[in-house]
Structure 1
Amino acid sequence: MTLRKLAAALFAAAAIATSTIGLSSPAAAHTDSTTGTTVTTAILTSGQARQPSLTAAQMKNAVEPATARSGSAAATLNCAYYYVCGMGGNGNRFDYTTCSTTYTLPNLVGWGSLHNNQTPGTRAHFYDVNGAWMFSIDAPARNDVFWTPVWYVIAC
């Protein structure tokens, strides 16, 4: 757990430094190996979708799943329509759909998948352990995310 907190602190420091200097990068793009087309990932950074930090009440009242769903880390992330879903490298995953609810993520660690399969244009917001906004993703979009410093999500 200490390593996770250290990684979260380092990531938060880098994010603050980047947003302070104004080095926001555009959404990443990659080439789909099956079709050869360029795909934009729709991850939004500081200049594009800056959100306020979570309040103490939002963090205190964050909905925590009764049990963390887990599966094989190599399993494919299937995400139903109207949901934002993610899975960490450790196999823990989430599926959230209720808007205006702050959720605590189920101990996602390492690199993993993120899929916002909500209604097109719906934006999910992600926050660190201190409630500071980290990034957002518009639907419909998929991306790989380093989950270790991410602790909270608001689905829409």
Structure 2
Amino acid sequence: MTPRKLAASLFAAAAIVTSALTLDGTAAAHTGGELRHTGLLTSERFRQPPLTAAQMRNAVTPEATRSSWAADSLNCAYYYICGKGANGNRFDYTTCNTTYTLPNLVGWGSLHNNQTPGTRAHFYDVNGAWMFSSDAPDRNDVYWTPVWYVIAC
């Protein structure tokens, strides 16, 4: 097991524990219901099927973009879903029906779904299990470490 996968597994376990203990309004802090006020969907009603082995194996891995730590907000062009981890790595994706591998996002960071209203992006863990979805328009803080894949729309 690579160090990144081991770290992701450990952080995923920590995120599960954290989600049960904190209620600070972030995606990882909610264990059940639909989050209408945030645009993040975590309830069983919105659960997506897991990614297939082929989807994970053939996931697109674009070049990681590193942004400045000084950037306060995540600028995201219209039609895109963007995210940034605490380590400064970020992504900007727009192509539908494509499984993307996220660029090693670590810790808490921003998520901005600036796609056309109602467009839903889905996020998955290292094993391809659905974690949450985001309906556009949406801005949120997310604990990125256990999140490995995204389907923009």
Indicate the TM-score class for this superposition, using the shorter chain for normalisation.
Answer: 0.7 to 0.9
SS of the aligned residue for 2:147 comes to: coil
Query: Match for residue 68 of structure 1?
Result: 64
- Aligned identity (percent) is 71
- Pair 62,132 (structure 1): closer, same or farther in 2 beyond 3 Å: same
Distance 1:73 1:111 in 2: 13
Distance 1:46 1:74 in 2: 34
In structure 1, what residue type is equivalent to 2:123?
F
What's the C-alpha RMSD, in Å, of the aligned pairs? 1.9
- TM-fit CA distance, 1:49: 1.1
TM-score by length of 2: 0.83
Q: Detail structure 1 runs of 4+ shifted over 3 Å in the superposition.
A: 9-15
2:34 and 2:43 in contact (8 A); partners too = no
TM-score by length of 1: 0.81
Among 26, 30, 40, the alignment partner of 2:34 is 26
1:85 aligns with 2:82: yes
Query: Match for residue 5 of structure 1?
Result: 9
Query: Match for residue 31 of structure 1?
Result: none
Among 97, 112, 115, the alignment partner of 1:115 is 112
Quick check: which has more Rg, 1 or 2?
Answer: 1
Per-residue CA deviation, residues 1-24 of structure 1 (Å, 9 max, x unaligned), is 333321124446888xxxxxxx51
Task: Show the 5 A alignment for 1:87-102.
Answer: 87-102=84-99
Segments of 5+ residues of structure 1 without an aligned counterpart are 16-22, 29-39
Distance 1:105 1:61 in 2: 13
